[in-house]
Amino acid sequence: MRLTDRVLSLHPAAITGLFVALFLGGGLATNVFPFGSIASLLMFAITMLVMIAPMWLWFYSLYRAASARSDQFVGHSGRRGFLFLSAILGLCAFLALFPTMMSIPPTAPIYRTVVAALTISMLVGSISYFASVWAAANALVRFDEHQRHAEFHKTLGTFFLLAYLPIGIWWVHPRIKRLLVAPSSSELVS
């Protein structure tokens, strides 16, 4: 069983519990240091990365599994994996630049460059994040419908369920179980 299938096979209670634990732990960790200090900002950056990384892995797993199992009627096994990478790179750049920007005085010549890079990285990370959630929702709907193109309203509904993952996973889980039972194209060939 592939890693992506193992991640998707987790029970919704485990994913919801992990999400809540990471959210509460991140909140506690950021309050250990005085607000506004460099240590507080670094702790914020690290906890945000630790909180979001498992969600990205889950969304990517859903995208890969659904794309691999629907490529025979879609025509390809998914070409939007770059969205996940650009979301990770954008957020990591933002989380690295944010404490740097806070440590530079606003009168320094490099300050405007850091602010511009911070803004660009946040835009790239945010847009790529939502686009990757949309790609995962679209792949799941295409698998469910066995069609090349998913209907917009079905993808939008699945997108909102995935965007609010701790709650939406309970409604999406039966579809994921059907997805995991279906053979992928590589299993059909061998």
pLDDT at 137: 93
Asked if 141 contacts 157 with a C-beta cutoff of 8 angstroms, the reply is no
Q: Is residue 29 within 8 Å of residue 47, measured between CB atoms?
A: yes
> What is the reported pLDDT for 46?
82
**What does R_g of the chain's alpha carbons equal in angstroms?**
19
Q: Is 97 helix (H, G, I), strand (E, B) or coil?
A: helix
So what's the pLDDT on residue 159? Answer: 95
Would the pLDDT of 184 be above 80? no
Query: Strands (DSSP E) along the chain, which ranges?
Result: none
pLDDT of residue 188: 54
Task: Give the CA distances from residue 29 to residues 14, 22, 23, 54, 138, in Å, rounded to whole numbers and listed in that order.
Answer: 22, 10, 10, 18, 35
Instruction: Give the tens place of pLDDT for each residue, 96-154.
Output: 888 888 888 999 999 999 999 999 999 999 999 999 999 999 999 998 888 878 889 99
Identify whether the C-beta of residue 137 lies closer than 8 Å to the C-beta of residue 83: no
For the chain, the structural domain boundaries read: 52-184
Encode pLDDT of 25-69 as tens digits. 877 877 887 877 777 778 888 888 888 888 888 999 999 888 888
As to burial, measured by CB atoms within 10 angstroms (0-12 exposed, 13-18 middle, 19+ buried), residue 164 is: exposed
